[in-house]
Structures are given as structure tokens and as C-alpha cells.
Structure 1
């Protein structure tokens, strides 16, 4: 799947979700020569007045700098500017169409997005919109869709209330974990000190744990939602 992926599209709800969820995998794909496109649906941290404009500008700049650490061009980072933590105030069709518009230009063979059962409603709606945008119509291009986990969201959901994150695909990021951490440092305003789950230490611990699941030093975990062999 990863060895043949040439065009990867990441659809994430907020700036930093893409790096927390699959930064090591993106670094690995980039090193293999794959073209990576990132769509960030949300506008970034919620703020008001001039602080809001500054926060949005900083989030965009952080996203571009983080992507460049992994070898992704700034022109390949796209922003939909949906209201933070208020995706439910936007028509689902509007979200789907934003994804479809970019997907039509990118023609991805690999799509990475959120797990269906995250605590954050923006994450859940992003997942729903992606699955709808890439519904398997007869004339659609074959692709694989994987869902990632996001620290401080995925693990907060009680298993009785939503589908639990039970990964069945693992990507060895032993070589690219440090790049992922460097990219996350570009999101300094979003990262927190240990033992918060959104800390560099927690990112490394999770990578080590996922690595134990598949026999390597560090890994990122995904749920395979669809593929065509």
C-alpha cells in the first residue's frame, strides 16, 4: 500500500492533527518520492477580534513550516477555514464539496484522515465527510483510506459511546519519528508539557507502544477503512 502510493491526500480537522496523526508516515512517504497534499479544514485555535486573525495566521504559518520539515511544499498545504469546534454549524455537503474539489485535482491513491470515533466533533465530521467524498462509485479511482489517531482526542472517547480505535495497519516510523517531533515543534502554541497527551514525550511513548505491536522501535497506527487490491 505505502510502497505504491504516489499521491497522498491528508484531510485533517485542525492544524497539528495531521502531524500528531501521521507525521512520521508523511515523512516516510515524502522520502520515497510520493506527492503529499494536506487539507486542513478548520481555521485553527478559537479566538476573538484581532487575536483571532493573529491566531489563524499563526496556525497557517505553523502548518506550512511543519509540512516543510517533512519535505511537503507550502503550496501543497490547503486551508478551508471552517469555524474551530463548530463544524456542526456548517452544512455537511459544504465540507464534502471542499474535499471533493481538492481531490479532483490531486487524484489521490492514498487518503489519510481521522478515526470515526474521536471525542472531538470536528474530527468525527471530517471522517464522515471524507468517507462520503470518496464513496466507491463505479467510475472512481481505486484508493486506500486509513484513519489515524490523535492524542488528546482519540483516547478520550469511552469505548461504549463510539467505535474504539482498534488499529490493523502499522507504519514503521523508527527512522522518521524525530522528523515528526521536529514538525510538531512548529506547533509550539498547541503542544503541552508532559504528562499532557499532546506533548513530545507522549508522542514518543505512543510511537514506542505502537512499535511494540508490530515488532519495530516506533510506529504509527491506522484503521483500514477501504482498499482495493
Structure 2
């Protein structure tokens, strides 16, 4: 696998339709970014779950995942399962996040997700963040809608253990779902790891990225030989 190394990230936007989407879809990736860049600012928007225990769970989870980063979380109270009926409110919220930030990377659900709330957010995000790299994450659930992922964040066993710990401890309201367990989440991460030759990974879908190949190559000495 040939890795691409993004430039310095100073601000990241993460979007979810429901509390726990972000942690399930890109929690380990977010944790790695925040660990590597302690001064990072994370702008998080969740469309449903406001004024409920779910919002409290989301605050706890993002605090655990983002560690030293500065986290700004907004949880709206749009109705779960009916976000498409509130298209204007959802789009205005995403646009407001863009206008109030200067993000370098956006993480959101992928546009092919079978859940209507996820899918709408995945469709809205790249139409608003037009000049940003947008990575679409996958949310494991009952529907058999796993995408063909095109970009991977490799993870170690410790990385996936940390993510599972957050999911297990921060979202007790979801423990009754038969798909919400360590085995399910670890299984998908192992599959994505196989696809990028890593122990585990989180997979993403992206429609369009811009490359800058004008900078000096990494991993080469002054004579131009690979290390």
C-alpha cells in the first residue's frame, strides 16, 4: 500500500446523523488524528439526540476520543429516522458549521448509506464543503449496505481496543442492539485491515481528492534512494 501524507491538520469537522455514528464510523481515525496533533480543533455536529441522554453519551465519547484536542460539539434534536423531512434545517446546520470554522478535513457518513438519515447527511456534506476533502465513513448496522471503501486508516490492535472501550462505556443506551458489540465492530475493522494489509483499519469512501505531488518525496535520502 502506498500511503498519502496529508499536510498539517489544524481543524477537522466530523458530522453524524445520530449520536454514536461518529464513534462507530471513524472513532479510531479521529483518535489517531487528535493524538498526533494535540492542538487540533474538532468541530462536531450531530443532527439528532439533542436534550436527551444520547447527547450526554456523545459528549462523553468525543471527550474520550479526542483527548487533548479542543472539541466543539453541537447536537440538534431533529427526529430520528425522519431527517429527510427536515432537509432545510439539516442543510442549514451543516452550512453553519462550515461558516463558523476553517476546517482542513471533513468526516461524514458516505452518501450510499441505506439509512435515510445517514444518506441525506452524506449527500449534503460535499455540496456544502465544496473545497474540502470529504471522507465518507461507514456505519455498521442491520442493513447489508457496506460500501466499496477506497481509502483506509490502518489501525493496530491497541487502536481498535481503545475504540471499542469508548463504544462500550460511553453508549450504554445502545447495548441492547444485537449488532452493537465488540465482535461485530472488531470483525469489520479486521476485514478493512485485510484490504489494506494492516491488523485492522477503518474504511472510507471519497468521490474526489486533489493531489499535490510537487513537494519532495518522503522516505528518500539526499541521493534519491529509498530508505
Q: Normalization by structure 2: what TM-score?
A: 0.81
Determine whether 1:191 maps to 2:175. Answer: yes
Partner of residue 152, structure 1: 141
Moved over 6 A (4+): none
> Looking at both structures, which has the greater relative contact order when contacts are Cα pairs under 8 Å and sequence separation is at least 6?
1
Where do residues 15-54 of structure 1 align in structure 2 (5 Å cutoff)?
Answer: 15-33=19-37, 34-43=40-49
Partner of residue 67, structure 1: 62
Gap regions ≥5 residues in structure 1: 45-55, 136-141, 158-163
SS at match of 2:173: coil
Structure with max Cα Rg? 2
Matched residues in 2 for 1:127 and 1:22: separation?
Answer: 14
Where do residues 207-222 of structure 1 align in structure 2 (5 Å cutoff)?
Answer: 207-222=189-204
Partner of residue 160, structure 1: none
Which whole-Å deviations, capped at 9, do the CAs of 1:153-194 have from their partners, x for residues lacking one?
5x523xxxxxx611110001214212211221211211347x
Determine whether 1:81 maps to 2:77. Answer: yes
Matched residues in 1 for 2:12 and 2:210: separation?
Answer: 15
Matched residues in 1 for 2:191 and 2:64: separation?
Answer: 24
SS at match of 2:18: coil
Residue from 147, 150, 155 that aligns with 1:165? 147
Gap regions ≥5 residues in structure 2: 212-227
- The 1:117/1:197 distance shift into structure 2, 3 A limit, reads same
Deviation at 1:57, TM superposition (A): 2.4
Which whole-Å deviations, capped at 9, do the CAs of 1:50-96 have from their partners, x for residues lacking one?
xxxxxx42111100111111125685121122111111221x23211
The size of the alignment, in residue pairs, is 202
SS at match of 1:102: helix
Contact 1:97 1:133 in 2 (8 A): no
CA RMSD of aligned residues (A): 2.0
Determine whether 1:107 maps to 2:92. Answer: no
Matched residues in 1 for 2:188 and 2:6: separation?
Answer: 21
Matched residues in 2 for 1:184 and 1:3: separation?
Answer: 29
- The 1:201/1:3 distance shift into structure 2, 3 A limit, reads farther
Deviation at 1:198, TM superposition (A): 2.4
Where do residues 99-138 of structure 1 align in structure 2 (5 Å cutoff)?
Answer: 99-135=94-130
- The 1:75/1:168 distance shift into structure 2, 3 A limit, reads closer
